[in-house]
Structure 1
Amino acid sequence: MKLTDALVQCLENEGVEYIFGMVGTEILDLANSLSKSSKIKYINVRHEQGAAFMADVYGRLSKKAGICLSTLGPGAANLVTGIASAQLDHSPLIALIGQAGVERQHNESHQFINIVRLLEPATKWSTQIQDPKTAPAVIRKAFRLTRMEKPGAVAIILPENFAAEQITNAPLPVTSIPETVPDSESLNAAQQLIQKYQKPFIIIGNGVIRQNAASELETFINILQCPAAHSFMAKGILPKDHPLNFFTFGFKENDAILPSINDADLLIVIGFDFVEQLPNAWNKNKLPVLHLDTLPAEVNEFYPVECELVGNIKKTINILNKTELTAKPWASSGELHAQIKKTCQINQQPDESLSIENVLHLIEKHSSEDTIVLSDVGAHKVSIAKTYQPKKPNRLIISNGLATMGIAIPGAIGAKLACPANPVICITGDGGALMNFAEMETAKRLGLAFTIIVLDDSMLKLEVKQMNQKFGDDYGVTFQNPDFIQLAQSFGVKGIRPKSISELESILKEPQQEMVLIDLVTQNSE
């Protein structure tokens, strides 16, 4: 069979359900091979960046590798932002990219750039197939690497002249990734370290979600009886009403949780990714650290590790829970827990204004446990990270590694395909919305039902705020918007512009039976 037929067999063997991409000359054979597949659905998108964002969010929610596809040169370059987003947010993603034939790669050639080198800084592994017979081995390695902790992006480059070559190699068997736990000496050292200190504080990272360890961690916190706070991407692990839930940390300013962290004498840091925020922002006192993660610690003066437990997070915490750990109940000075709730507007009763906080309270009120909320990047992301409380882990999707605008609308497509039975709401600013608005056609063509909330204020609100704080004025951060209702309708999508919070509530209470765009002129308190 020809190489691209064999590639599709390999992808089917890996359990691939969807491929998001755009067809170009150099991948015509692969597109033709996909057309014969009964197991893989090809989703043709309107821009390669959208394809990568769809694969990113799909991978994060499904725990499978999200696959995106492009041709060479400009197609590959358009994928870069989404690939880098998956890499820094630790989502499993594989990019399949066509390339000029090897016979013209040695000199200046039409649309040819060295894609392997372009993507090396943005991936765990970037490689070009050098021999068609090695393709099954390359695919198997890619799928192992992309899901291996910490997950990330892999790029496979296919020269055009190899696409139709005949090979006989079969897909390689899919094997599980080995899991390890710390040795008994390390576990004993961790237990002794916890016993040594009286005021531990637990930092919860997204690795806890990736390793399905939320239940074990909640038990661990209940045993120790010490406070805990989530990173942006880890929200939902502790229930909102859990008495030890100190909610979310990691804000550049007005971080209400920092005084509680500073009151501690030991930080137990579990599954935290430094891409969300470096320790010098939240451990200025250089408190000792118990590091529990899938990879060894990246030690520096603000992350002084006294003990580290490296291995599967779920299994490691489960072992700790069976040891004799003494409860370490303690309270921060003053009424910090109450102050955090007030600052983050937790449980605040909404008024009639269309503020982002009021919108979030309504979404929280009317969402189910399985509702997936996606945040684009902007001032509203800060409000969502502070105020919105998902009812389960991995039901609030925030890009906080690369933190790139434009992810929300294509990400909602990936979310709906990964979890078709779950309601999906994406919240985006007008800046991020128009970056990938064309993917509404993709969603409409697929018959997907989800809600898009566009915060319509004709500015990059976060940058307006920052420039005014720094210079007393802003420049280059305002613009004019189209009529989002008419624009949505031109895609065959229902558009609504609520005038009051009660009108918005009536919209959100309706079951999702079609795609709806809500154009929201709002006042953000950030």
Structure 2
Amino acid sequence: MENTVRNDAVTTVTASDGDVDAVGGAPADDHVKTVADLFVECLVNEGVEVIYGIPGEENIPLMEAIERDGRIRFVLTRHEQGAGFMAATYGHLTGKPGVCLATLGPGALNLTLPVAQANASTTPLVAICAQGSVGRLYKESHQIVDLVSVFKPLTQWSSMIMTPESTPEMIRKAFSLSQHNRPGATCLVLPEDIAEMPAPAGAKPLPLPRPTHLMPADDTIDEAVALIREAKRPVILAGNGVTRAHAQDRLRELAELLNVPVATTFEGKGVFSDKLPNALGVVGFMHKDYENFAFDTADLIIAVGFSIQQFDPKKINPNDDKTIIHINTFVEDTDAHYSTALNIMADIDQTLAVLIGRLRWEGITFGDSHPAIRELLNREYTSCAADDSFPMKPQRIVYDTRSAVEDDDVVLVDTGALKMWMARLYPTYKSNTCVIDNSLSTMAWTLPGAVAASMANPGRPVLAVMGDGSFMMNVQEIETAVRCGCRMVILVWVDEAYGLIKWKMDIHDGSHEYVDFNNPDVVALGASFGAKGHEIESAEELYPVLRHALRSGSGVDIIACPVDYRENMRLIEKLGDIDFSG
């Protein structure tokens, strides 16, 4: 069967074997409805519009059912890891579960990294894996791996469909748990022989529940108001849960009402605009970074949408002497430096709305937004704006990137030394416009992630910022991007090394080893994929090349920009010397 790429919710299909009607969604009269067909109906019922993956022998029945139905776009990727990262990025940007698909054994095992990433960062994702026939699962059979056990510690829930009748319930459960109070990944395994069985008579998708919002209990709001009233120097810490709850406006209202500073995690960048006077930037780099001084002097931390996987709370509460109000949809894990005085487990937006109403009635306000911290941060951000040294300083690359990018453009920042510079210095003004993984801190997710981001925002440019180490780990997905007509730019910071590990080695004992490598010709590499490659050869070239690629270009652009990471150790020395008494 021809592998088609779908672009519409319902697609007209012409089939050579006569088993499909003219319009997708209805099998031909001579086709017996299978469990695979029922499976696809249930996916459509859950709102699935796109699946990323690679077919295999054992999921041919499911692939044929997707083709027959015609309402789900299947995006063929070049590696299952790329499919998982695309699904995770789709889930992060849309709030709906991203869906990825793999065959059994090695194909399924290739999904483990992006599935674990999604689960760690509370991103809704459903992984679908094929499996061999049930009759051979009990023995050491070809390519058989106990996938349910493999995925169980990496997900909210992992299970296998063992009877045709259970299909609607299990799919509903997989999607429900991926969006539960603590969103994350789920995995559903479909054996080949179960997929080919006739669907039970009358079997159909289960109705979706009406959305509900868990309201905070009145006594918890009373206690929160009392703790805030008693505080002298409170600070708000905002995490990725604010984005998930669409609570950015409430967060701003709370901060302005109390007149308190707001810091975000790396994953929370943009939930509180850096244009606002109370914005402190991000925390999570090191204890001596500028923003941490606000936490050093704080007596109350109002943590909104925060989880300890986003960064070690020891960096903001080393002595465990801060009063902490935890507002999220789930209870935080135990940590010696995150002892909460109050946990409010409820819808974040609704909680903030009720809390704001009570605080406004109480007339509580404070008066210190730490302008000195903002000045230090802005001074560093602009410090190399006119520095023409080459290779370019990280500060100059960040400054030129911000200058070339519009406020609404989506920027995906990979893991590596560049993540520290982008997270700290790149001003962000809206949620989901600077996306960083700092829970599992996975390398190489942004290139495939940009494919999904481009599809989710057709016509808008997407920028993936990567180190050269990350770039080569999933470089094959450039072919996917070109084939699917994606509009994206990949900016590669080139230092011919695993820069973050080199940095940490240098901090550890002043030397480094086993981290250096060589790179391909990016211009030739891009051309070989049908993309455009650009090699930056002077500092003044980056901004115009990047700006043109984002605003006037088309297709896929790859920009290689050499970076001078000697600034890494200079930053450590500078932050270590700061004496902040304000």
**TM-score interval (norm. to shorter):** over 0.9
Of 505-514 and 59-68, the range deviating more from structure 2: 505-514
Is it true that 1:256 corresponds to 2:290 in the alignment? yes
Note the C-alpha offset of 1:383: 0.6
User: Distance between the aligned counterparts of 2:352 and 2:134, measured in 1?
Assistant: 50
**Mean CA deviation greater in 144-153 or 502-511:** 502-511
User: Shift in Å at residue 500 of structure 1?
Assistant: 2.4
1:151 aligns with 2:189: no
Given that 1:86 and 1:92 are in contact with CA atoms closer than 8 Å, whether structure 2 keeps it comes out as yes
Give the 3-state SS of the residue equivalent to 1:305 in structure 2: coil
Query: C-alpha separation between the residues in 2 aligned to 1:300 and 1:517?
Result: 42
Q: How far does residue 350 in structure 1 lie from its aligned partner after superposition?
A: 4.0
Q: Secondary structure at the match of 2:301?
A: strand
1:54-453 equivalent positions in 2, closer than 5 A = 54-167=86-199, 168=201, 169-252=203-286, 254-286=288-320, 287-323=322-358, 324=361, 325-330=363-368, 335-343=372-380, 345=381, 349-353=385-389, 354-453=392-491
Pairwise CA distance, 1:347: 7.9
SS in 2 for 1:425: strand
Displacement of 1:393 in angstroms is 0.9
Higher relative CO (CA 8 A, sep ≥ 6), structure 1 or 2? 1
Indicate yes or no: 2:544 matched with 1:506: yes
CA contact (8 A) 2:522 2:534 kept: no
User: How far apart in 2 are the matches of 1:227 and 1:346?
Assistant: 22
Partner of 1:23: 55
Deviation of residue 146 (structure 1)?
0.7
Question: Is residue 408–residue 428 contact of structure 1 (8 Å, CA) maintained in 2?
Answer: yes
Q: Secondary structure at 1:181's aligned position in 2? A: coil
Q: What fraction of aligned residue pairs are identical, expressed as a percent?
A: 33
User: How far apart, CA to CA, are the structure 2 residues paired with 1:350 and 1:241?
Assistant: 22
SS in 1 for 2:196: coil
Q: Which residue type is aligned with residue 430 of structure 2?
A: K
Give me the whole-angstrom Cα distance separating, in 2, the residues matched to 1:397 and 1:412.
11
**Alignment-mate amino acid for residue 292 of structure 1:** I
Moved more, 440-449 or 249-258: 249-258
User: Shift of residue 346 of structure 1?
Assistant: 5.8
In 1, Cα distance between equivalents of 2:504 and 2:334:
32
- Report SS of the residue matched to 1:174: coil
Letter in 1 for 2:385: Q
Mean Cα displacement is larger for which, 75-84 or 252-261? 252-261
> Distance in 2 between the 1:105 and 1:391 partners?
52
Instruction: Find the structure with the greater CA-based Rg.
Output: 2
- Separation of aligned partners in 2, 1:513 and 1:327: 50
Deviations 1:348-383 (A, max 9, x none): 634224233222222222322220001111000111
Determine the C-alpha separation between the residues in 2 that align with 1:514 and 1:472.
43
Distance 1:227 1:422 in 2: 33
Bigger CA drift: 73-82 or 273-282?
A: 273-282
Distance 2:172 2:466 in 1: 36
User: Which has the larger displacement, 202-211 or 349-358?
Assistant: 349-358
- SS for the counterpart of 1:428 is strand
Q: Is the 8 A contact 2:385 2:400 kept in 1?
A: no
* Aligned-residue offset at 1:135: 0.6
TM-score by length of 1: 0.96
Q: Deviations over 1:9-50 (max 9, x none)?
A: 111111111100001111011111111233211001110000
| Unmatched 5+ stretches in structure 1 | none
Worse-matched range after superposition: 320-329 or 431-440: 320-329
TM-superposition CA deviations, 1:265-299 (whole Å, max 9, x none): 11111110110113222111321111111112435
Q: Give the conservation status (yes or no) of the 8 Å contact 1:49–1:81.
A: yes
Q: Which 4+ stretches in 1 moved above 4 angstroms?
A: none
Opposite residue 515 of structure 1, the aligned amino acid is V
Taking only aligned residues, the RMSD between alpha carbons, in angstroms, comes to 1.6
Q: Are 1:144 and 1:177, in contact at CA under 8 Å, matched by a contact in 2? A: no
2:65 paired with 1:33: yes
Cα distance in 1 for residues equivalent to 2:527 and 2:131:
38
User: What 5-or-longer segments of structure 2 have no aligned partner?
Assistant: 1-32, 569-582
